Amino acid sequence: MTSTTTAVNTRVNELIRTQIAEGRQIGVQVCAYSDGDLVVDAWAGRMGPKDGRPVTEDSLFLSFSTTKGIASTLIHMLAERGLIDYDEPVAKYWPAFGQNGKDRLTIAQMMSHQAGLHRMPEPFAPEHITDWDDGIRRMEEGVPAYEPGTATGYHAVTFGWLVGGLVQAVTGKHIKDLIRTEIAEPLGEADNMFVGIPHGLDDRLTTLEIVPAGEGLPIEDDAEFYKAMPKTMWQHFNSMPFREACLPSGNGHFTARSLAKMYAALAGDGSIEGTRLVQPDRIAYMQQLQTADVDVVLGMPTPKSIGFFLGGEAEGIHGPTGPRPTAFGHPGAGGSVGFADPEASLSVGVTLNKMSYPDPGEGVTLEICDLIRSELGVA
């Protein structure tokens, strides 16, 4: 279905219905803004592998690390207000964090996954996700896997407590509340953007066909990849305790429209439809490369800015965020994505419930994003 009549929207509708017919999607939403105008707003498919209800425009999809982009946007908003400085140590604002050699780690380094705190407790237990206060404490007392600032390793889960602990220390408020009051409500998306699902939304929740990250890949069981993302963690993400917990690194529930609208502001001058998130000059910090080193968790070079993954090409191949290194946003495990491409004045949000891990240069999400770029002439 659709609520937009542009030519690119028609093509996207055709593509996602083809993907569903081929069994490569179950349910999906796609939204895109170009020059601040809504040009794609499409949805199709079923609410879950065993849920035949049709996806609607307000269905909520658990979007894993796409959540990091929303949390990072909040950090940039706080920096613009002078509450934090990217180049100052985290411990300046959060003194309890400065234990075990973490006292000099800067906010910019922490936000670009250089803290060395990517490891989850072993063996994994569900409360390691659902207990917020324990997660904060583990970050405070954590011993880095390497000297902070000397390497980068994707903090797949722990990023949530790092950013949440900083926000709490600076503002005295919970990050899930600030995401709602500072981003979701001003954008008119308060009912479509959640980090921690409140009661009463069960009928809007899609169900994931879960495929654990790393499944089928030649990754050793004792690799840092699985220390950051335990194999036994994934089975719980459809459960209500996991949905209701606040995990600003990985359990955000969004519509594609809410993602695309937030990034539409960041793809422009920092505002959308009269709502300003940041001033125009703040966007440069979101695009500013912090590290492109080989990631010790992901095992490949991963260009990162302050809280976002950057676009660009490697050996002629780009991901959903696109070929321009000035594009920024965040993918989520299994295929969701939200990003801004300021050079193209483009933002895109994709939410889906059939997780997959295609080879570089392939996959349903890349097909969707490339089609949008091609149809708009910004490929």
Q: What is the pTM of this model?
A: 0.98
Q: Which of 34, 59, 65, 72 is catalytic?
A: 65
**Greatest extent of the chain over all pairs of C-alpha atoms, in Å:** 57
Place of tokens 């920092």: 270
Q: Where are the alpha helices (DSSP H) in the chain?
A: 7-21, 66-80, 90-93, 107-111, 127-130, 132-141, 159-171, 175-178, 224-228, 240-244, 256-267, 283-287, 364-376
65 is catalytic: yes
Structural domains in the chain, CATH included, are 60-73+176-336 (3.40.710.10)
The closest of 277, 252, 268, 286 to 81, measured between CA atoms, is: 277
Place of tokens 């949805």: 43
What is the residue-level pLDDT of the chain in tens, covering all 379 positions? 556 789 999 999 999 999 999 999 999 999 999 999 999 999 999 999 999 999 999 999 999 999 999 999 999 999 999 999 999 999 999 999 999 999 999 999 999 999 999 999 999 999 999 999 999 999 999 999 999 999 999 999 999 999 999 999 999 999 999 999 999 999 999 999 999 999 999 999 999 999 999 998 899 999 999 999 999 999 999 999 999 999 999 999 999 999 999 999 999 999 999 999 999 999 999 999 999 999 999 999 999 999 999 999 999 999 999 999 999 999 999 999 999 999 999 999 999 999 999 999 999 999 999 999 999 999 9
